[in-house]
Amino acid sequence: MKKKLFLLLLLPVLGFSQAVEQTSGSETAATQPFDNKSRLFKDWSVSLGGGGAFMTHADLTSFYDGDINWGWNGYVSLDKQISQVFGISLMYTRGETKQKAYLNEAAGVGHGSTKFDQIALLGDINFSALLRKANSKSSFKWALHGYAGIGVMGYKTFLQDDNVLSQWPMKIKQDIDVGSFSYIGGVGLKYNLSRLLDLELRTLYLLSGDEEFDGGGWTREAIPGYNLINDTYSDNAWLVNLGISFKLGKHPVHLRWADPLQKAYADAATLEEKIGNFQVCEKGDLDNDAICDDWDRQLDTPAGARVDGSGVALDIDLDGVIDLNDKCVTIPGPIENNGCPNINPNTITPEKQEAIDDINKYFNGIEFELGKAIIRPQSYRDLDKTADIIKRFGAGESFIVVGAADSRGSAELNKKLSLARANAVLEYLVSKGVSPSILSAEGRGKDDLKYTECDPASNCPEWKNEANRRVYFISK
């Protein structure tokens, strides 16, 4: 039974050691060793205390016939805090219990005592730190702790009654050795008295795992039969202590009282004081384009003009005329002609220009296979509408299908690909009834970038590079 309990308590320790090994293996060169120089808190302490000891779950108990038979115990421990939530302690406990039991009329009330010594390794969980609310800014003075551990124990018992044991009292001695495993656990309420001292009210339950711990006999059936009074195979004791803990180290705060959120709040307050009245837009926005003048690349943007992220007025066709003043927003043209191309007014009527604008809207959605001049099927519907518009013009009209590419790859390859795509569009339109005499194809490669700043392509987001890979329609 003891071996099974020992292995059960050992499993978390083995799991913890594996987790530590895996963490160490994943460290990078950027990490720093955690040594005394990098510590921010105390993490060692020495504790001592004492109080009452009572035999409880046993054949002979300290609570008999309404009376309490008081015993005593004292302890000293060396404590190591691993984190603000978990710590370990090596504890030595010494004490004595006094207990009684009624066996029979001849023996009367047997009275005995047990003097014990235990060395135990305890795990310590700080429940208050574990369950502390994230928004709590109260002082951290009280903490509830839970303890559980395993140890070795030696003891000497004495038992006397009114029968045979009156002349020859029964004495049992158990030395501290491998066969004397015991278990201990409980709770404690700590108070942070000062930067050097903690107070604690602690109650622990000691499981001996032995039938003879209360002095009732070496075996269950041993004469005179005290071990048969209760159906129990482990005599256990209850310890109630008041103790004091001396916190060791030069730092002002011990790790068990550390609250990382309080430090975060303090750092935030300090940073807030340093920053003062920080202004995001120090120079204002004089041209009212919603871009701070601190990083506005065009401080005199005309009112009403749409701008990009750097405050520069948009010019979609890159003809030098901003869209606000451009009469042909999607078709490049000279500044003196308000951004529209110089064409014979006799051949380009407003109706014709409107039709070309409509065609370019449909062309804007044409998609090709990656790196090829193959039109994707989802673009056929837009091309069919384009063909219907072109067929309304007479045989004397003349148009150009222009293909352009982004700046990736070589100039020669881009020009060939853009020409091939323009031809692919031309051939499709012809297949839909458009006269081949009024259409011609032209490939401009990367010489006709819609966004000139995208050379090289890595200077721009992908949507701009995609916009540079286009096919558009102009009058010849």
In this structure, are 176 and 70 located in the same domain? yes
Q: What is the pLDDT of residue 345?
A: 47
Q: What is the pLDDT of residue 262?
A: 73
Give a yes or no: residue 310 inside a domain: no
Q: What is the DSSP string of 420-437?
A: HHHHHHHHHHHHTT--GG
Q: What is the pLDDT of residue 29?
A: 47
In this structure, are 97 and 221 located in the same domain? yes
Residue pair 326/305 in contact by the 8 Å Cβ criterion: no
Give a yes or no: residue 20 inside a domain: no
In this structure, are 252 and 350 located in the same domain? no
Q: What is the pLDDT of residue 96?
A: 96
Please tell me the distance from the alpha carbon of residue 238 to that of residue 303, in angstroms, as a whole number.
85
Which domain CATH number covers 434?
Answer: 3.30.1330.60
Q: Shortest CA distance to 118 belongs to which of 60, 48, 54, 175?
A: 175
Q: What is the pLDDT of residue 24?
A: 46
In this structure, are 71 and 220 located in the same domain? yes
Q: How far is CA 1 from CA 120, 155, 209, 234, in A?
A: 19, 20, 8, 11
Residues in Cβ contact with 365 at an 8 Å cutoff, skipping those fewer than 6 apart: 379, 382
Mean pLDDT, 10 residues at a time, the chain of 476 residues: 53 51 48 69 95 91 91 97 94 95 80 94 94 76 95 92 81 86 96 95 94 81 76 90 95 87 74 70 83 87 88 88 87 85 60 76 74 81 83 74 81 84 86 84 80 83 79 78
Residue that is last in its domain, among 258, 285, 319:
258
Please tell me the distance from the alpha carbon of residue 21 to that of residue 25, in angstroms, as a whole number.
6
Give a yes or no: residue 379 inside a domain: yes
Q: Which residue has the tokens 């540079």?
A: 468
Which domain CATH number covers 211?
Answer: 2.40.160.20
Instruction: Give 79's strand partners.
Output: 45, 89
Q: How far is CA 179 from CA 114, 151, 152, 213, 459, in A?
A: 18, 11, 8, 14, 75
pTM assigned to the model: 0.51
When divided into structural domains, the chain yields a total of 2
Please tell me the distance from the alpha carbon of residue 149 to that of residue 124, in angstroms, as a whole number.
9
Q: What is the pLDDT of residue 237?
A: 95
Q: What is the pLDDT of residue 69?
A: 94
Total Cβ atoms within 10 A of residue 207: 20
In this structure, are 94 and 212 located in the same domain? yes
Please tell me the distance from the alpha carbon of residue 447 to that of residue 319, in angstroms, as a whole number.
14
Q: What is the pLDDT of residue 383?
A: 82
Residue that is last in its domain, among 226, 258, 290:
258
Give a yes or no: residue 242 inside a domain: yes
Determine the structural domain holding residue 126 and report its residue range: 40-258
Give a yes or no: residue 285 inside a domain: no
Q: How far is CA 219 from CA 47, 178, 234, 437, 467, in A?
A: 37, 19, 12, 116, 92
**Considering just the CA atoms, what is the radius of gyration of the chain in Å?**
45
Q: What is the pLDDT of residue 349?
A: 62
Residue that is last in its domain, among 200, 233, 258:
258
Please tell me the distance from the alpha carbon of residue 351 to that of residue 8, in angstroms, as a whole number.
89
The residue type of 101 is A
Give a yes or no: residue 336 inside a domain: no
